[in-house]
Amino acid sequence: MVHEPGLFEGGVVNGVPAWSGPRTAIVTGGGRGIGLAVSRRLCLEGASVAIFERDGDLAAAAAEEIAGEGGRVVAYEVDVADRQAVDEAVAATRQELGPATILVNNAGISPFKKFREITREELEQVFAVNVYGTIDCCQAVLGDMVTAGWGRIVNIASSSAQTGSVLQTHYSASKGAVIAFTRSLARELGSKGITVNAVPPSFIDTPSLQQAEESGFLGSGVEVLLQSMPIRRVGQPDDIAAAVAYLCRDDAGFVTGQVLGVNGGRVIG
């Protein structure tokens, strides 16, 4: 079901349209946390949004919430590690909302485990979602972007890829691969009017962060870790959504292959 626009009659940023025409966006992992904030923000700026989420009930609830605020949104149950499911959802998005020319690869898993105890199966699961899922989603939408001569791809990485993270060698390695993939794809697609950028968050107030702290995976806790950061607060999903929205606009057309850290200064440079 497509929820038609209401309150979200947006698309204007500082008096300037965010895009030169209607845009359709896909946000993977769009049912909660950062993904939900990105989905809402892109709707606010005038895009139609397809939420891809492994948990179908979560996807439907997120779409209903955004639709209640006036956004034009659809929801699909999609495991990005399943290429067939990705292709089918992209085709359904094209049918209901139009070709997707904005893709935000946010879906990911971030397990904690000692390096020596990580099994090959666990390693492959992390890479299947975080790396192969990102690559597959890009391939699935690329044809529509090339046809349009315009596209925006934003890959959500992690500051753990830049600093390393205890008990997360597999996760950090996967997000490092996302950053390298982003830079390489940007070089390949720039001449086609498609930009590709990455946003690596640090400590963002999401269910995943809360669960990690409750499980004791963050040492003395987030508040202690924040003391080493210039901006001593936990980030909010809206902080990431704002950066993603900028990278998706027309006026970010000269920005590609960049890693825009939204991390409170945890990583500088």
Active site (catalytic) residues: 171
Write the single-letter amino acid at 197: N
Half-sphere exposure of 171 (CA within 13 A, CB side): 20
- Distance (Å, rounded) from C-alpha 191 to C-alpha 5? 33
The two structure tokens encoding residue 206:
């999401």
Residues 6+ positions from 108 with CB-CB distance below 8 Å:
29, 129, 130, 133, 156, 158, 174, 175
Q: Could you tell me which residues come within 8 angstroms of residue 74 by beta carbon, excluding any fewer than 6 positions away?
A: 1, 2, 3, 48, 49, 50, 51, 63, 92, 93, 96, 97
What whole-number distance in Å separates Cα of residue 217 and Cα of residue 203? 13
